[in-house]
Structure 1
Amino acid sequence: MQKARLIFKDNTPFSLDFDDFYFNSKDGVNESKFVYTQAFEFTEDENFIIAELGFGIGLNFFLSLKRFLNSTKRPKRLFYVSLENFYIDKELLRECYKRLNLYEEFKELLELFLEFYPKNKEGYYRFYFKDCFLDLVFKDAVFSLKELDFKADVWFLDGFSPSKNKTMFDEEIIKEIARLSKINTQILTFSASSFLQKNLKKYNFEVQKVKGFKKREMIKACFKGFEFECKEAYFSRVKKDFKGKKLAIIGAGISAASLAYELSLRGFEIEIFEKNTKLFENASTNASGILSSLILKPEVVLGELSQNAFIEASRFYQQILGFKPQGVYEFAYNELMQTRFDLQKDNVLFQICDNRAFLEDGGVIEPKTIVSELLRLSGAKIHFGYEFMHFTKDDNKFSLHFNTQNSKSGFDILIYASGADTKKILSYEAMNLSKVRGQVTLLKPFLDTKFALSSKAYITPIKNDLQLIGATYDRLNEDINPTQKDNEENIQNIKEFLQGNEKLVVQGAKVAFRSYSSDRFAIIGPAYDEEFYKKSYKALLWTKDKPQILPQNIENLYLDFAHGSRGFSTAILGARYICALICNEPLGLFKSFTHAIHPARFLIRKLKKGL
């Protein structure tokens, strides 16, 4: 991602990249209000989505947020999706507001934003404000728009004037804007360019010229609809409108806790059903763990998703739970890993030196604390000792049936976040799930380190006079009891960190089970109608490059499991994505990632091969 070349002229930010001011050098706030932030009406719906090309210094966002927070007639939640391809450093952003004499006016919101401002790296970053989500997308709009999925109510086209930045307003960009718009979406821009008008009209925007801010005219446009073909429709979301807010989640681990928190922000009444008799008996229950990322070759989807999940989980825990990352060291312990490290040496998330990578946004986490605090904040009602068996539906409401408890009914939405137990309650022909046993070992303190260390195994810093190492990985063993053999395996896997003369004293061990998919990606998304998929997409071997019909799913049933050993990263993106599907929101991550985690992906791969 490029760094913005920004200077000040008369205390106003000026772009050397586009030879243009970021906004009116004499009256920027009033221009932004006139052209953008006061030029539309809020609806009183559940959600309102503003999308913007050109975040710049964020003035349009902060003005929109202040208007939203101060409005009595407004939607319940504001989503603001803004694209930017020229990175401005945190200190320079703050200086912009000070030089413009705007710092005191926006200080509270600006500093909250800057506290969680990401590094200079392409990605999809979410910020949490009161009843508002800001999705800041760092990537060239030509590429990033294709990776987004939402239906905006309003678009701000604010990427310098078309004469200076013609690419921002070209036909391909306008085509994607149309795809991301609903009927009657408004386009707001300071421009009156005939080039822009032509491209808007081509994709059925009704264009009118109106009086501009201290200029003769500018454009307003309204989207009237356009038909788009989709070659991968089988991964598309199917919009459903309903008003029911009663929701059930099966499972009480990090996936369920993340879901419960996110859903509570959207006003859902949440009940959680857990088979165990207390909260901490599953894979989200270790006293200590580490938050880190896979380091794979650049542009490998699994690695890119792992990075995005890692940094967004870190930022989420910082914003919501006050997490303070101490950093974690990852070590390359073979030639393949060293090659991956060498190829990622310029990645700002990984400070790589020889065979070590320091991830300053990672560190030690307390799984029990995270899960319990998210559940507390969500206000969810938790039922313990409820082993889920199956559901029935009557009048579009779910009734849940349990092994030894009475049934519970009246739920509008059901989500499986059941981890390693999912194999017992869900069966898809093409979906292979593994229940993997992992054992961690607790040792008398033996290594004085302030950082978590990860190689063949991981070591956490000393806590409560104990040091945790782990974990084993066993697909074939379902024994719930710790074994000496696994303790010895964990110790063997940390030998590289030892001098050879330490006396390692085992103080305890713990076994947990995690759910894995056959391709190592989590399984997150709608529960699809298997028979419909088989029938509708049976000819994919010959038609995979042609447009497909939209899918059919099991209505209001969603899946969120198979997070493996990195659930405290991927569960955050998973919860956002499920909320997006339920509430018709921006996805909260790039669309190509949703294809990688879609529950139907295994079946689609088979159909494409003619199997």
Structure 2
Amino acid sequence: MPPMPLSPCSISTAITESPRMNKHGKEQPDRTLRALETASIDWEASFPRSGHYDDIYFSNSNGPAESRHVFIEANQLRHRWSTLPDKSTFTIIETGFGTGLNFLCAAQCWAEHGPDTGQLQYLSIEKYPLAPADLARALDPWAEFNDISKQLIANYPPPLPGFHRLILKPPGRKAPIALTLIFAEAREALAQLQSTTHPALAQHRFFTADAWFLDGFAPAKNPDLWTPEIFKATAQLSHIGTTLSTFTASGQVRRGLSAAGFSMSKTPGFGSKREMLVGSYSGHTDITESEDEGEPSQPKPGVRREKQSDLPWHIDLARAGRELARHSRASRKHIAIIGAGIAGCATASAMANRGWRVSIYDRHGQPGAEASGNPQGIIYPRLSTEASFLSRLNLAGLRFASHFYQLFWKNKPGDQGLPSGVLVLPEKPTDVENFKRIAVNLQGCEDFVRLLQGSAIDEVSGISLAADIGLYFPGLGWIDPVAVCEQLASHPNIDLETATITGLSRDADRGLWRLESSTGTHTATTVVLAASNSSSAFELSQHLPLKPIRGQVSIAPAQNQSRALKTVICGAGYLAPADEQAAHTFGASYNLDSLSSEVEVQDHQRNIDTLIKTDPTLHSLLGEVKASQLDGRAALRCTSPDYLPLVGPLPVFEDFVENYGGLKRDARADIPLSGSYWPGLYVHCGLGSRGFTYAPLGAEILASYICGEAPVLPNDLQKALNPARFIIRDLKRKRI
């Protein structure tokens, strides 16, 4: 099969918290999940002007020429990119995405001068994102960017706060461009890009920018973007030699950046503007302790702090530098992935697309043979009005999956699933009010989710339902899991071998992992455990608290009336439209009392009962089929205690217990120690019943982490997925 081209994808997850008062009169964060205010645009002919800041987005005389002068040429990007080695990554961080014109200029320059196998990582922060229609109008005059601007417009995220990664493919290029849009205030966004806020490890940098585009509106118009705090964060995300440029020549900006460690100078500006600023990070800071927000000196282990910092257990200082140096050697970029389900195949594809050689080991020797092998996999949405970790991850997973699977739906419509949309019906009376609140909170996001009532529900579903209200997700649908897994594993860099891995050990002298199986010994520099519940079968991973839960889907033949169903119906259970074999899948059972993979009639009956609970009309739609007449499939889900997946490096259990043992005496103790992780050993499992929603996102998270790229999610959410979280939790609860 031909290699699978990269699809444009987007990730989003809320990071903002506005203060509110509790019943005791104390301020507490407002964790409501809601859409952002979009940019207020005043149009001057065909050029946009910000209503919030009363300032122009770009020069009315020649916007692209201004962007190239101020940012491309001032950062010497043509020369730097033309001399980059193959498979290099170059990272730009921008403050102020605006219309995206700077990004388009950078993408065009990268396509012309960057290494064909290299990747451009472009992160851009925006407090007031343009509405999609305004973005399209603003970019319409610049036909020279059509190849990439059409992709940007087609995949531009709704105004949801948080991180949105878009994977865009310039024509004729082997490697994609990763555009990460961060819709938030700059202070919040930069804090979430940093590895930790703990003062003892504040200088730790997992990734850094190679160049900065400081393109907020003028300091007099937008002072919040030009503060000492912003300048300090800019320095903390830079390495020696990182460059920056900005249109302003403000003395305040020059002095602030100089104090943060940048060597600053003036250079001629664009057009009638006499001067602008350029700089390079030297690391020589003039910031004093009093200017540094009065942070205290490094605390002693176990001592409480008045202001709690996030414990830096997710950081591995001892190995990070050595591992990144090792990964930079292309000849050793070989990763072994244990498991060929959706988690393993998606991870394999993400690594192969980054130029790695991938070996998948699976005991069945074929993709999607266990829990990922159902006839239809639903991209299942479940939103909340609260911005909890779980609801934020659900939102992020849905946004990414909705674009990730578009490629499969477009290439072979019906063979690999359909973008049928998903209609979620209320399970209980309180859901009705929650649906209405979600619709209000997410106004402006109707292309992602919208509230349907009355006859609109029947029009969208194609059938007559008893429900009179629901949430509709037009960009979602169902996939054929086996076909998708096979396509993901078809990349020429991927080999799939039949092998049951029974042993895993580290050859520290050679920097390799040894994988033992009945067919022999296999080696790789990096390993990912993506074998569902079997991920905890090894001595090094046996501490992972994975729980198998049996699930059975029922399969019913399509009836004349059921063929009219156009969209997936979800509620207490789900019913998918008929597939290419004229069959409907529905379910799925949630059985805690059995670990059997045999199809059971009683679980078919449970699925029928759940289907009726979802909507009374659905069983009759299937001809009131009997449980004994149904076909089906059963497998074991892999779940975690907090229902969040495990995505990240595998911790060294004994080291964590020793280093963080003080948490057993005081759960709030401040222990300023980094974590301890096995070098080059990672986990991607615990996806539960949302494997097809979470797996593409988890694969991108893991690939970015392994390759030392910019983070896919905000730091707090990425930390919430770290497999070491359960060791920390159990220490605090005195369970270890």
TM superposition score category, shorter chain reference: over 0.9
The answer to whether the Cα contact below 8 Å between 1:437 and 1:474 also exists between their aligned partners in 2 is yes
**Of 612, 616, 631, the match for 1:495:** 612
**Of 115, 130, 150, the match for 2:154:** 115
**Of 69, 82, 85, the match for 2:111:** 69
In the other structure, the counterpart of 1:6 is: 41
The answer to whether the Cα contact below 8 Å between 2:187 and 2:230 also exists between their aligned partners in 1 is yes
1:456 aligns to 2:580 (yes or no): no
Letter matched to residue 290 of structure 1: I
1:293 aligns to 2:414 (yes or no): no
The answer to whether the Cα contact below 8 Å between 1:79 and 1:133 also exists between their aligned partners in 2 is yes
In the other structure, the counterpart of 1:522 is: 645
1:424 aligns to 2:537 (yes or no): yes
Distance 1:72 1:471 in 2: 48
**In 2 relative to 1, CA 413–292 (structure 1 residues): closer, same or farther, beyond 3 Å?**
same
How far residue 392 of structure 1 moved from its aligned partner, in angstroms, is 4.0
How far residue 474 of structure 1 moved from its aligned partner, in angstroms, is 2.0
The answer to whether the Cα contact below 8 Å between 2:241 and 2:282 also exists between their aligned partners in 1 is yes
Structure 2 unpaired stretches of 5+: 1-35, 195-206, 286-291, 299-308, 411-416, 454-468
The answer to whether the Cα contact below 8 Å between 1:577 and 1:588 also exists between their aligned partners in 2 is yes
In the other structure, the counterpart of 2:369 is: 281
1:157 aligns to 2:214 (yes or no): yes
Distance 2:531 2:594 in 1: 19
**In 2 relative to 1, CA 32–74 (structure 1 residues): closer, same or farther, beyond 3 Å?**
farther
In the other structure, the counterpart of 1:211 is: 268
How far residue 590 of structure 1 moved from its aligned partner, in angstroms, is 1.7
Letter matched to residue 415 of structure 1: V
TM-score normalised by length of structure 1: 0.93
How far residue 388 of structure 1 moved from its aligned partner, in angstroms, is 3.7
Alignment of 1:47-66 (within 5 A): 47-66=89-108
In the other structure, the counterpart of 1:477 is: 594
How far residue 50 of structure 1 moved from its aligned partner, in angstroms, is 0.5
The answer to whether the Cα contact below 8 Å between 2:355 and 2:493 also exists between their aligned partners in 1 is no
Distance 2:592 2:259 in 1: 56
The answer to whether the Cα contact below 8 Å between 2:504 and 2:513 also exists between their aligned partners in 1 is no
How far residue 83 of structure 1 moved from its aligned partner, in angstroms, is 1.2
1:325 aligns to 2:364 (yes or no): no
How far residue 542 of structure 1 moved from its aligned partner, in angstroms, is 4.6
| Superposed CA offset, 1:200-257 (max 9, x none) | 2332222222222232322112223379987431113634321221110000011111
Once the two structures are overlaid, the 10-residue window that deviates more, 114-123 or 219-228, is 219-228
1:433 aligns to 2:433 (yes or no): no
Letter matched to residue 263 of structure 1: M
What is the SS of the residue equivalent to 1:326? coil
The answer to whether the Cα contact below 8 Å between 1:116 and 1:319 also exists between their aligned partners in 2 is no
In the other structure, the counterpart of 2:451 is: 352
In the other structure, the counterpart of 2:660 is: 537
1:27 aligns to 2:68 (yes or no): no
Once the two structures are overlaid, the 10-residue window that deviates more, 313-322 or 373-382, is 313-322
In the other structure, the counterpart of 1:224 is: 282
Q: Percent identity?
A: 25
Once the two structures are overlaid, the 10-residue window that deviates more, 327-336 or 415-424, is 327-336
Letter matched to residue 38 of structure 1: E
How far residue 378 of structure 1 moved from its aligned partner, in angstroms, is 5.7
Distance 2:703 2:125 in 1: 21
Once the two structures are overlaid, the 10-residue window that deviates more, 276-285 or 11-20, is 276-285
CA RMSD in angstroms, aligned pairs only: 2.4
**Of 310, 313, 322, the match for 1:234:** 313
The answer to whether the Cα contact below 8 Å between 1:249 and 1:415 also exists between their aligned partners in 2 is yes
| Superposed CA offset, 1:85-124 (max 9, x none) | 22223332222233xx31x211121112212122222232
Letter matched to residue 381 of structure 2: S
**In 2 relative to 1, CA 216–319 (structure 1 residues): closer, same or farther, beyond 3 Å?**
farther
| Superposed CA offset, 1:558-600 (max 9, x none) | 1111111111121122111211221110111221211111010
1:397 aligns to 2:512 (yes or no): yes
In the other structure, the counterpart of 2:673 is: 549
**In 2 relative to 1, CA 589–324 (structure 1 residues): closer, same or farther, beyond 3 Å?**
farther
The count of aligned residue pairs is: 606
**Of 326, 348, 365, the match for 1:260:** 348
Distance 2:435 2:137 in 1: 36
**Of 361, 364, 373, the match for 2:487:** 373
Moved over 6 A (4+): 226-230
In the other structure, the counterpart of 2:4 is: none
Once the two structures are overlaid, the 10-residue window that deviates more, 130-139 or 448-457, is 130-139
Distance 1:420 1:547 in 2: 32
| Superposed CA offset, 1:342-387 (max 9, x none) | 4323223432357521112211222122211111136410002434
In the other structure, the counterpart of 2:339 is: 251
How far residue 454 of structure 1 moved from its aligned partner, in angstroms, is 0.9
Distance 2:188 2:434 in 1: 25
Letter matched to residue 268 of structure 2: K
**In 2 relative to 1, CA 314–109 (structure 1 residues): closer, same or farther, beyond 3 Å?**
same
How far residue 10 of structure 1 moved from its aligned partner, in angstroms, is 4.3
Once the two structures are overlaid, the 10-residue window that deviates more, 593-602 or 445-454, is 445-454
**Of 238, 247, 268, the match for 1:190:** 247
**In 2 relative to 1, CA 553–285 (structure 1 residues): closer, same or farther, beyond 3 Å?**
same
TM-score normalised by length of structure 2: 0.78
Once the two structures are overlaid, the 10-residue window that deviates more, 242-251 or 379-388, is 379-388
Once the two structures are overlaid, the 10-residue window that deviates more, 154-163 or 64-73, is 64-73
Distance 2:100 2:281 in 1: 25
**Of 95, 116, 124, the match for 1:82:** 124
In the other structure, the counterpart of 1:572 is: 696
Distance 1:27 1:96 in 2: 13
**Of 186, 190, 203, the match for 1:145:** 190
The answer to whether the Cα contact below 8 Å between 2:418 and 2:478 also exists between their aligned partners in 1 is no
**In 2 relative to 1, CA 308–532 (structure 1 residues): closer, same or farther, beyond 3 Å?**
same
How far residue 465 of structure 1 moved from its aligned partner, in angstroms, is 2.0
How far residue 72 of structure 1 moved from its aligned partner, in angstroms, is 5.6
The answer to whether the Cα contact below 8 Å between 1:90 and 1:114 also exists between their aligned partners in 2 is yes
How far residue 492 of structure 1 moved from its aligned partner, in angstroms, is 0.6
Distance 2:69 2:180 in 1: 23
1:341 aligns to 2:435 (yes or no): yes
| Superposed CA offset, 1:420-463 (max 9, x none) | 22232356576321011110001122534111011111100112
Letter matched to residue 598 of structure 2: N
How far residue 325 of structure 1 moved from its aligned partner, in angstroms, is 2.6
The answer to whether the Cα contact below 8 Å between 1:434 and 1:475 also exists between their aligned partners in 2 is no
Distance 1:367 1:527 in 2: 27
**In 2 relative to 1, CA 441–89 (structure 1 residues): closer, same or farther, beyond 3 Å?**
same
In the other structure, the counterpart of 1:125 is: 164
Letter matched to residue 509 of structure 1: G
1:468 aligns to 2:592 (yes or no): no
The answer to whether the Cα contact below 8 Å between 1:36 and 1:156 also exists between their aligned partners in 2 is yes
